[in-house]
Chains A and B, each alone.
Chain A
Amino acid sequence: MRKLLCTFLVGLSLFSAMVAAAPPEDIRQSGFVYCVNGAATTFNPQLVSGGLVVDTLAAQLYDRLLDVDPYTYRLIPELAASWETLDNGATYRFHLRHNVPFQKTAWFTPGRPMNADDVVFSFQRIFDRKSAWHGVNGGSYPYFDSLQFADSVASVKKLSSDTVEIRLNAPDASFLWHLATHYAPVLSAEYAAQLSKVDRQEQLDRQPVGTGPFKLSEYRTGQYIRLARHTNYWKGMPRMPMVVIDMGAGGTGRLSKLLTGECDVLAYPAASQISVLRDDPRLRLTLRPGMNIAYLAFNTRKAPLDRAEVRQALALAINNERLMESVYYGTAETAASILPRASWAYDNNARVTEYNPQKSREMLKALGVEDLQLTLWVPATSQAWNPSPLKTAELIQADLAQVGVTVKIVPVEGRFQEARLMEMNHDLTLTGWATDSNDPDSFFRPLLSCAAIGSQTNFAHWCDAAFDETLQKALLSQQLASRIEYYGKAQAMLAQSLPVLPLAYSLRLQAYRHDIHGLVLSPFGNASFAGVYRDPRTKP
């Protein structure tokens, strides 16, 4: 017994000695931990409509032909060293950069640098329905599908080893902006050919190979993604050897990990945590206007919401100021248009709908709408444009009760219920949109065009021939001034008939530890981590 006790005590003291040893400083120098709440279902941003893969991983693993400057919002060259716009915007010719190496990974060793074949392969997979790769892993390309690009692209052709030409059926001024989004990465055609040979095509999206600053080194489902730096990166070697994307903890767990230093960067902190983040001297907070909009969509195919007057009357009953205070805690701006204020086509004449329940009641009475009962569909989890959709829905419910409208809230949860939204049974949908592109077209066309009713993004089920025509005309012109004019007209039409009620533009937040430097947060998602480094000398 005594012997046992002795061994136990010795063991205990040994253990405590190990614990008390000085913490290793250097492993922290070799990388940083980026904490997110999300999951990766694929490593190819072409295949998804948003989430972690698009807003964080895409910029690390891949490069695009063009990029958007995070500060000036202009197109800048990336893999395309230069480009030409021909045929009044119907043909685009890209001159590719030379000597851009692909990543060498455990599953692929590149034999040549990036060339026109890779670009043609990447885009044919999306645009060419006859391509052998189009149907691999589902054959759905949500971003480009929502813009009907498979129909509008006539051909993707290699002119020489460093020149690629993309022809459209009609001029489209927004095209370059879409190519600059993270949904349009350049993949390796050589890797694809290697996979075809062994008939493992589905690996292309699971074991990625790109030209970006970091390559995938380890992935544990639901736990973490380890990225290792691409030492031959064409813009120069990234500063940190490793980045770990931690997907392990949600909610307050992530905030605690940031406070203890287990996380170095916290993506999308909750708006309600802002005060904690601001008060802690060890933490830094970045706020950027985001390319997103939260809105309330009226089902315009269902009576009585098919009448614009009824929609206007309901809009008057909603207290937008209160939403700003109790849902966003000051991390958003009231929206007057479906287009974010950061957009170049934002209509400065747009006005936020006033809050006037008295007038709303009178209007509804005059319209003969009484005892109105509506169902409001709302996502159950937080979204990029709305930190707490359910709370927002409850506030709207209370507002509408003031004017005698009964609202029943239907939380939409899980993958299967989302599809039910398109059964068109709902009256109201509280939703939003976030995009990667600075072109106004990426807001109007997916959300409000007739064709988008089929692609599950037009929750208002709104289809107006005159509005569609205005959008089309705006795309035909390469002149910014005339495009702004058309989009101004489109916004005026929306304000008139109000198929959707814009609520808020949410700011993008990112919190990080004081010793992390070089993070760039862009309104269009995360920039690459190539320039991120840790300086332990930075004192809190």
Chain B
Amino acid sequence: MIIYTLRRLVLWLVTLFLLTVVGFSLSYFTPHAPLQGASFSDAILFWYQGLMQFDFGVSSINGEPVSLQLLEVFPATLELCILAFVLAMAVGIPFGIAAGVMRNRWQDKAISALALLGFSMPVFWLALLLTLFFSLDLGWLPVSGRVDLLYPMKNITGFALIDAWLSDSPWRHEMLKSVLLHLILPVTALAVAPTTEVVRLLRISTREVMEQNYIKAAATRGLSRLTIIRRHVLHNALPPVVPRLGLQFSTMLTLAMITEVVFSWPGLGRWLVDAIRQQDYAAISAGVMMVGGLVITVNVLADILGALTTPLKHKEWYALR
């Protein structure tokens, strides 16, 4: 186990290093790059020294440190992704298991058809459709942003929900409500694709488990369906799916960028798009490294967690050294 984990960690470090090479090239070789003009060795030394202290240089648009801006936008993206991920699990797991248990019956077919539909809908289009209906036609939900800007919300953690919760303003209750209302559409739009993926994975996994002899044995013992699902199916169907859910998180980050642009969500994705549009190379380089770093980290974590929870995978620990 230790060797497996170490190997994953080394892979993680090497990939992160390669990512910083990409980041450095963006700040050195591109036209109008911030470090252009300096000698190669000076530039590389200066840049890596800065990186060690989480210093990505200053934005060429307004002279603000890029790391400060990152700290502002990163929690917004994380908040969106985490909530959408939780929603995807909360909806996807029960429906996936239901579809797997009721295999080939109409319930299974309906769930699978819906999942396929959700899977094939582009986020961009779905997000626009949602705003068109819920915001413009019905007027129930706000079109964009994180909170009604008139509420003077202080930036404490960067997570709007927590900040509103911690606030001592007389508007606290309204603020929380406003934050929740602003979350509904982006989280829903972002959750659709991962939900369908969770449904698909769990359906397959459950089907496999349902065919095992111990399930049949349990059924002959006269256990009720719900008990079988709770005792046997859930325990065996869920763990193999965990590492693949980690992959889902990285796909979600890509989708989150599109969602952010549509809903003007002030997160990493929109910030990166703005930086590219304004040719702010220090910011582009930092943003690329941040997104890449997060994807790699989550994948490695999911790998390790998956190996821990799936006894079937334990043999990988003893694979060729």
Contact = CB atoms under 8 A, between A and B. Distances in A.
B228 to A, nearest CB: 12
A1 interface: yes
Contact of B180 (A15, A24, A31, A415): A15
A163 B319 CA distance: 87
Interface string A238-278: 00001010101100010011011010000000000000000
B55 interface: no
B174 A222 contact: no
Given A19-B180, A27-B150, A416-B279, A253 B31 contact: no
A414 B150 contact: no
Contact of B171 (A1, A27, A253): A27
Given A221-B62, A244-B150, A416-B31, A262 B279 contact: no
A226 B154 CA distance: 12
A244 B152 CA distance: 10
Nearest to A33: B149
A516 to B, nearest CB: 13
A70 to B, nearest CB: 27
A537 interface: no
B177 interface: yes
Interface string B274-290: 10011100000000000
B69 A221 contact: yes
Contacts of A366: none
B236 interface: no
12 contacts: A1-B230, A19-B180, A19-B181, A33-B149, A41-B61, A223-B266, A256-B131, A256-B144, A262-B145, A414-B278, A415-B278, A416-B279
A262 B148 contact: yes
B49 to A, nearest CB: 23
A222 B279 contact: no
B177 A21 contact: yes
Given A15-B180, A253-B143, 6 more contacts: A1-B230, A28-B150, A41-B61, A221-B59, A256-B131, A262-B145
A224 B136 contact: no
A221 B67 CA distance: 13
Interface in A445-488: none
Given A19-B177, A256-B131, A27 B148 contact: yes
A416 B144 contact: no
B279 A414 contact: yes
Nearest to A8: B90
B142 A260 contact: yes
A19 B279 CA distance: 41
B62 A41 contact: yes
Ranked 7 nearest A-B pairs via Cβ: A24-B174, A244-B149, A249-B264, A248-B264, A256-B143, A223-B266, A414-B279
Given A19-B180, A27-B150, A226-B152, A415 B279 contact: yes
A425 interface: no
A218 to B, nearest CB: 8
B176 A18 contact: yes
A530 to B, nearest CB: 18
B79 interface: no
A256 to B, nearest CB: 5
Contacts of A253: 143-144, 264
Contacts of A248: 144-145, 264, 266
Question: Interface SS of chain B: helix, strand, loop or mixed?
Answer: loop
Interface string B252-270: 0000000000001010000
Nearest to B177: A18
Interface in A206-225: 206, 217-218, 220-224
B171 A222 contact: no
A260 B143 contact: yes
A1 B225 CA distance: 13
Contacts of B277: 414
B311 interface: no
A420 B229 CA distance: 69
Interface string B142-182: 11110011111001000000000000000100101100110
A256 B135 contact: yes
Contacts of B135: 256, 260
A24 B62 contact: no
Nearest to A242: B150
Interface string A1-19: 1000000100000010011
A228 to B, nearest CB: 9
A33 B131 contact: no
Contacts of A326: none
A372 B274 CA distance: 39
Interface string B203-244: 000000000000000000000001001100000000000000
Given A8-B90, A253-B264, A220 B72 contact: yes
A42 B64 CA distance: 11
